[in-house]
Amino acid sequence: MTLSIEQQADIEAARAQSTATRRATVPALENMLYEAVPVLDHGFVRVIDYMGDDAAIVQAARVSYGKGTRHVTEDAGLIRYLMRHRHSTPFEMCEIKYHIKLPIFVARQWIRHRTANVNEYSARYSVMDREFYIPAPEHLAAQSVSNRQGRGDVLQGEEAATVLRLLREDAETCHTHYLAMLNENGTDPERQGLARELARMNLTLNTYTQWYWKTDLHNLLHFLSLRADPHAQYEIRVYADAMIRSVEAWVPLAMAAFREYRLGAFTFSAAMLAVLRRRLNGEAVRQENSGLSRREWLDMEAALSAQEGA
């Protein structure tokens, strides 16, 4: 990731400011404010603002006036209870705002999470930068033969080199034509240039965009449970991983409970629990007589194997 001199100066100026407040602050997250955490080749994640902390979750659950005389261990126990039983409202009392730079195709996947406030860089008003995501060779994989949404073996040799060349050439060519259609620099005084809102249609989906993304903790954790999962697409998973670090600094008790009951957990259906009970009673249960579909059976076995190997 490369920041311009102006961007770096803006970040340093923002980090140099300090404002007195009566509201709760979290020193660990304060230290991260505005700092750009690199993601992919040109992307980043920055925490811009936040509201609340672990105590705000507890306060909302108890509807109390303040922290009172409760101990941290009691707060941790309550947060774990709320997470375990999926009580969402107390976690909605905390909010966080990120500035994120990401490829357009990742943004289109990300925007499926509709429980956030989003304001994106507008190509109707501004010219898009000449920055494109080009995968590292180890992330250049073929289509999976068993998963329509996943990747298979990593491409090798000439095939990989050809794909990388096409990605670069196509992105560069389309952006060059985009600028030519705009005629922003007046290189051709006989032309007005195409409107920005139309010229943008020529950009490739690996072009970088930026947005401000604000959400509450409950919906952020739901986002992370899906996008930090090992099955998530790599290009969005690395953003989730970067955001997890900021959440750990912000609400460490809630994050520890989230890791225990969501990230590191597996939900068993009623039919799966019935299979487990039969196994505990000594019965040798097979998929054919389990009442589970083959996919459900494989998911259950994978979860159990992961726990045994942990």
Q: What is the helix, strand, coil percentage profile of the chain, to 5?
A: 50, 15, 35
Q: What is the pLDDT, as a whole number, of residue 3?
A: 79
Q: How confident is the model at residue 207 (pLDDT cuts 50, 70, 90)?
A: very high
Position 69 pLDDT exceeds 60: no
Distance separating alpha carbons of residues 307 and 310, to the nearest angstrom:
5
pTM of the full structure: 0.89
Q: For Cα atoms 147, 139, 204, give the angle at the middle one, nearest 5 degrees.
A: 90
Residue ranges of the annotated binding site for FAD are 89, 112-114, 120, 216-218, 222
Q: What is the pLDDT, as a whole number, of residue 309?
A: 43
Over residues 127-155, the pLDDT tens digits come to 999 999 999 999 998 877 766 677 778 88
Q: How confident is the model at residue 264 (pLDDT cuts 50, 70, 90)?
A: confident
Q: What is the pLDDT, as a whole number, of residue 76?
A: 94
Q: What is the pLDDT, as a whole number, of residue 256?
A: 97
**110-119, 147-156, 183-192: range with highest mean pLDDT:** 110-119
Q: How confident is the model at residue 67 (pLDDT cuts 50, 70, 90)?
A: low
Between 217-227 and 234-250, two packed helices, what is the crossing angle to 10 degrees?
Answer: 140
For the chain, the domains span 5-121+209-262, 134-205, 270-305
% of the chain at pLDDT higher than 70: 93
Residue 18 DSSP one-character state: -
Between 54-62 and 72-84, two packed helices, what is the crossing angle to 10 degrees?
Answer: 70
**Closest among 110, 109, 76, 73 to 261, alpha carbons compared:** 76
Position 75 pLDDT exceeds 70: yes
Q: Does domain 5-121+209-262 have CATH number 3.30.1360.170?
A: yes
Mean pLDDT over 3-19 rounds to 87
Mean pLDDT over 95-119 rounds to 97
Position 310 pLDDT exceeds 50: no
Which residue among the candidates 227, 245, 278, 295 is catalytic per the annotation? Answer: 227
Token pair for residue 237?
A: 């998973």
Over residues 214-256, the pLDDT tens digits come to 999 999 999 999 999 988 999 999 999 999 999 999 999 999 9
Over residues 22-45, the pLDDT tens digits come to 899 999 999 999 999 999 999 999
Residue ranges of the annotated binding site are 89, 109-114, 120-124, 200, 216-218, 222, 227
Are the beta carbons of 40 and 238 closer than 8 angstroms? yes
Distance separating alpha carbons of residues 27 and 85, to the nearest angstrom:
29
Q: What is the pLDDT, as a whole number, of residue 154?
A: 87
Catalytic-residue membership of 165: no
**Longest alpha-carbon distance in the chain:** 85
107-111 long-range contacts (CB < 8 A, ≥24 apart) are 107/209, 107/211, 108/205, 109/233, 109/236, 110/227, 110/236, 110/239
Are the beta carbons of 44 and 38 closer than 8 angstroms? yes
Q: What is the mean pLDDT of the chain?
A: 91
Position 65 pLDDT exceeds 80: no
Q: Hey, is 277 helix, strand or coil?
A: helix
Residue ranges of the annotated binding site for dUMP are 109-112, 120-124, 200, 227
Q: What is the pLDDT, as a whole number, of residue 129?
A: 94
Position 308 pLDDT exceeds 60: no
